[in-house]
Structures are given as structure tokens and as C-alpha cells.
Structure 1
Amino acid sequence: MQLDLNLLTALDALLEEGSVAGAAARLHVTSPAMSRSLGRIRRATGDQILVRTGRSMVPTTRALAMRAQVHALVEQAHHLLSAHQELDLAALDRVFTVRWHDALTAACGTALTTAVRRQAPGIRLRLSAEPGADDAELRRGEVDLESSSRAPELPDIRHRLVGSDRLVVAVRPGHPLTEGPSDLERYAAAEHLTVSRRGSLRDPIDDALTTRALTRRVVAAGPTAAFALQLALESDLVVTLPDAVTRTARERLGLVTLPLPLPLPDVPLYLLWHQRYDDDRAHAWLRDLAAETVRALFAPPTAAGAPPVPEPAAPGAGG
């Protein structure tokens, strides 16, 4: 019997996802195509592999026993076939999903897209809105590159520190905080706005104020930095945000930036990816280029106020 080794990749996805739909999404194929692959795997192995229990599917005993070995075989095949391939950027045809914080995407998404188009015109980028920390999407291969202010805890999620940003206060022109001394008591007494996708009215600034026997009144939570900055422009609300990644947006709106009268550590910025891409040269090229693009935010502002587009990066493994 001649075995199609592509079925190993499908089997690995099915066993990791536990569903036909999940495996299809991971491998970017249709659900009917994945169902046909599952049928062929069942015929080849003489085992059901996944069986339905209620609304979900669970692996059989044999599937559980072979899961680790199947995954290892797929990883070995990937390394064997890709380790020594030269990377031809001009001929590269691939889709990458980049999930960054909305402020980071607004700050350098254009520069990244421009650099990618210049170096590898066959690459397509999905600049995805960040719904929150979800390492499972990195592990499933649904997201190729992610931004975070925290280093990952899981050992299979790789990370690279690309910069750190200080917090600043943004208010409308003529706001009361722009007149008179900038001190902690006046800052705390103002009405504040947080940035939180989950609508949280509290963040680490409140914890820092508590240690100084102070509290602030947070009257609203905005889902994105862009929304928060617009609301600050149209009201007396105060928003505290990272400086470099929001600088261009603040300048475009004409907001006034004040120093934060509270000693807090800088906010680190990491790029995250799954370890399966460590030796993927195309992925390494993308993360090198993304790191250069993001690091440009932390360079002294140019005369135009925007970060420069990075020069072409030499293809490499990165890390």
C-alpha cells in the first residue's frame, strides 16, 4: 500500500486540534477536504482516530498513543526539508498573520507592510486586531507573530525583546493639567480613562497610587488606544499611554503630552512566536524585519515625526 505522507501533517493537526474544523483552519484547507483526509487516515490505520461524543470529538486510545510520535515525525520532516533551503524572497508566496496591539499596528503597520512589499511582493500580511493573550492561537499556527508587554511563560513560545517604552499623560490642549505645576495629587484628582479590551477600570497605575495613599477616578474604559486618544481630545479625560507607540497618533490629533508624575518602570515590548518556526527561514526573515520596524519607533523622531522604513534585512534564522 502506498501511503501519502501528507496525511501525517493532517493527522498531526487533527490530533492537536481535536476537531475537523480546527485542523482545517490550522492547515488553511476547507473542512470537507479535512474530512476526506480523516477518512483516508481511518482507512490507512484501521482506526477511527476521532470519535464523536456529544457535540465534541475525542481521540481514540490508539490516537492518544500515537500523538507524540506523529508530531515528532512531522517536525523531523519539516526540519529535514527546510533546514538547507535558500530563501528566495522574490519567489516567496506565503500568508503571515501578525497580531499586534492596536497602537503598535497604527504606529508601524504601514512601515512593516511597505518593507514586506518591497522585499517579498508575494507575501500577504494579515494585520490582526489583538483580542487578548491567547497562546493557543500561536501554538495552533493561527498567529505567526504577536506583540506583548510580558514575556511568555510557556516554554514553547519564543520571545524577543525589541524595546521598552515610558508612560506619558495625554490631554487636550487647554486641559487644566497643562496649567500650573505637574504633581501627583493633581494628576490623581483628574478624571481618567483606561485602555482595556475587556473594559477594566483599573490598571497598574492604580496599584502604584494605592501605595502612596492616593486613588484616581476612572470614569471610562476604551477598547483601543485610538479611541482613548480621540475621547481625551474631546473631553477633560486624562489617558496614560506608552510614549513611542502612541506618539504619531497624539501628534496627529494635536494632543498635549505631559510627564507622568509617578515613578514607574518602562513598559517592555516583546515579539512572540511558536518554537515550530525557529528554523523556518521565511518566518525568521519576517520577525527580523518586524523587529527592525518596531525598534525604529524608539529611535529619535525624524523631522516628519514618523519612524523610518527599515532597510532590507539579510535573510537569516533570527531568534
Structure 2
Amino acid sequence: MSSIDHFNLWSFDLNLLVAFDALMRERSVTRAATRLKIQQPAMSHNLATLRLLFDDELFVRVGQVMKPTSRAERLAVGINQILSLAQHSITASDEFCPEQEERTFTLGFSSELEVLTMPKLTAQVQRCAPGIRLLARTVQPEHVHRMLDEGDIDLAVGCFSDGAERHRRKFLFEQSLLCCFNPAYLDLKLPVSRSDYLAQRHALVSQNASIRGCLEDAVREAGVELNMAMAAPEFLTVLSTAMHAPVIATLPARIVMQYAPLMGLAMSPVPFEFSVTPISMVWAARSDSDPAAEWLRQQVEPVLAQIEAHSALSRAGSLPAGTN
């Protein structure tokens, strides 16, 4: 962005440029006044002011027309460009053609939502907008609103809460949990009972300094204490630990349903009502009317709805008898 001397421009009546352009087109004070729908004396005053500012006659009467001077001819090119650009900026409507657009959208995710959303979202976007690129970033709940404010991300999806008035949040679905373990290391009856769950060592996802990570508040509210063996920021690390060690991993149901069977892990509902933050879409209010941002939200929402519907069907058909 080029530097602008705002003080000098403020002291210059930019309407005089419109008057100059009208004089260049009409070559008559009377016709220029008619074009601008002002009185002839006002147009004559504009011409007098222009002559004073540019220290040049600018227009000289030759017969029945006002002929521009050499200085006016040189000024005309730049002034016309300025006015054309201003007119386009003022009158152009915001349009977004995803089929033709070339740009990158940055999406912020919490925890497992990235791996669940990005593959299907990328496939969908590539079918209808091949020039659109998607950049995923891991975002902590305490940082998401600042990143939206600073333009680091265009949209956030995950377990995010309400922000300030300058933020928007749309609830998508409730977050549910499942636990899993390797039956070669833990001989537990399904579904896992409360006593068995509390008797084992645990592995959880943690993206902060707490060993209990994302479940710390939920565990405290439930009034229980987990015997922690490990915590890691990536869910695959936690699942791999359950695959190789005698621990119970408690994770979002969608992740457990998708990956636990591939690793030979047994699945069970969590025998406690752990309260976890629901999944939401969060964005900056300033992008409410941006057609590109609106299009992005419209692409993300059905993908997540599909994931939730598939997860619900899988839970209903695959969990041990006696569970919901």
C-alpha cells in the first residue's frame, strides 16, 4: 500500500477533480455545469479555483469551445484514472466466483477436528473450486479469538466458546467421548464399568501444561480422579499408547470410532457423564457479509454434519450391548 499525504489531500477539494474531468469532456463551462447538475456560476468558480491551484489557465476559450492547455492535457490522464478507480471501488458489488477464484483460506481447528474435516472438505472444495487452497492450523481455545481478530485464520472449528461482540459462533453438535484399550493388555468386560475405568491407568489428549488436558475440568466436575499414565497433544499418539501399553485412552467418539478398530482396540462408552465443550464454528463479525467467507462456512458446515451423522450411526451399530 503506497503512502498517502492525508493532510494535503484533506486540504484539497477532491470534487475539483470531478469538475476538471467534466470540463475536459464537455469543453464548455455551461455543458460541464449541466453534466454535474450545478449552476454555471458554481462551475466558473470551480474553474477559477483549479487555475489558482495548478497555476495554469487549464482551459482557454477558442471560438465556442474551451481548449485545454498542455498542462491540462497532461493532468487529464492521471485524473481520469483516479476517478475511474474511485467509481469502480464505490459501485462495484462484492462478488465471489469460487470456480474462478485463486486464493488460500486458513482454518483453525482444535484437537481432532482437523483430521476429521480436512480430507472431506478438501475433496468437496476441489470439485467445485479447484483454485481454492486450504491451510489448516492447530488453534488453542484461549487463542482463537485473537487469531480471528488479527486475521491469522479465516474460520475456526472446534470446542470454542463465545468471544466478544465482534465474534460470531454457531453451534454444530455436542461433543461425545468414548474410551478404548488393547484387550491383549487389559482384560476388561464391555462396556467398561465405573470401577474398572477408575482402576486403570489413563492416556489423554493434552494441549496445555496439564496432564489431564482437555478433560481436566470435566473430571473435576464429575468428582473423580484418574490415574494418569501419559498425555500428549496428538490423538494418534494417545491411541498408539493404548495400542502398546495397558492404559485406557479417552477421546472424542468420532476419533475412536474411526481409528480404534484399525489398531485392534476395544471400544466402550465412558462410564461417567463428563461434560465437554460442544463443537462450534467461530468467525470474526466483520466477515459476516463477505461472500467469500460466507461460501467457506457453507462448505464446512455440511461436511461436519455428515461426520456427525456417520458417527451417530456407527456408535449405534458398533458399541457393546447395553450402551446408548
TM-score by length of 2: 0.64
User: Who is 1:128 aligned against?
Assistant: 137
2:112 partner SS: helix
Q: Percent identity?
A: 23
TM alignment of 1:180-219, pairs within 5 A:
182-203=192-213, 205=215, 214-219=224-229
Does the alignment pair 1:156 with 2:166?
yes
Contact 1:188 1:217 in 2 (8 A): yes
Go from structure 1 to structure 2 and tell me whether the alpha carbon gap of 1:285 and 1:212 turns closer, same or farther (over 3 Å shift): closer
User: Who is 2:258 aligned against?
Assistant: 248
Contact 1:195 1:222 in 2 (8 A): yes
User: Who is 1:269 aligned against?
Assistant: 279
Query: Which ranges of structure 2 fall in alignment gaps of 5 or more residues?
Result: 9-86, 316-324
User: Who is 1:228 aligned against?
Assistant: 238
Report deviation, 1:104: 1.3
Alpha-carbon deviations, 1:18-47, whole Å to 9, x = none?
A: xxxxxxxxxxxxxxxxxxx4xx24x4448x
Report deviation, 1:204: 6.9
2:114 partner SS: helix
User: Who is 1:108 aligned against?
Assistant: 117
User: Who is 2:105 aligned against?
Assistant: 96
User: Who is 1:24 aligned against?
Assistant: none
Match among 211, 233, 247 for residue 237 of structure 1: 247
> How many residues end up aligned between the 2 structures?
235
Contact 2:181 2:265 in 1 (8 A): yes
User: Who is 1:165 aligned against?
Assistant: 175
Does the alignment pair 1:282 with 2:292?
yes
1:95 partner SS: strand
Report deviation, 1:205: 4.9
Over alpha carbons, which structure has the higher Rg? Answer: 2
Question: Which amino acid counterpart does residue 108 of structure 1 have in structure 2?
Answer: T
Provide the rounded CA distance (Å) in 2 between the counterparts of 1:258 and 1:170. 6
Provide the rounded CA distance (Å) in 1 between the counterparts of 2:186 and 2:214. 24
Provide the rounded CA distance (Å) in 2 between the counterparts of 1:212 and 1:123. 44
Report deviation, 1:152: 1.8
TM alignment of 1:11-160, pairs within 5 A:
37=2, 40-41=3-4, 43-45=5-7, 84-134=93-143, 135-160=145-170
Contact 2:171 2:280 in 1 (8 A): yes
User: Who is 2:305 aligned against?
Assistant: 295
Question: Which amino acid counterpart does residue 109 of structure 1 have in structure 2?
Answer: M
Question: Which amino acid counterpart does residue 230 of structure 1 have in structure 2?
Answer: S
Provide the rounded CA distance (Å) in 2 between the counterparts of 1:303 and 1:123. 32
Contact 1:98 1:143 in 2 (8 A): yes
Provide the rounded CA distance (Å) in 1 between the counterparts of 2:309 and 2:171. 15
Contact 2:213 2:231 in 1 (8 A): no
Query: Which ranges of structure 1 fall in alignment gaps of 5 or more residues?
Result: 1-6, 8-36, 47-76, 306-319
Go from structure 1 to structure 2 and tell me whether the alpha carbon gap of 1:177 and 1:212 turns closer, same or farther (over 3 Å shift): farther
Report deviation, 1:179: 3.2
Alpha-carbon deviations, 1:6-29, whole Å to 9, x = none?
A: x5xxxxxxxxxxxxxxxxxxxxxx
Provide the rounded CA distance (Å) in 1 between the counterparts of 2:259 and 2:90. 46
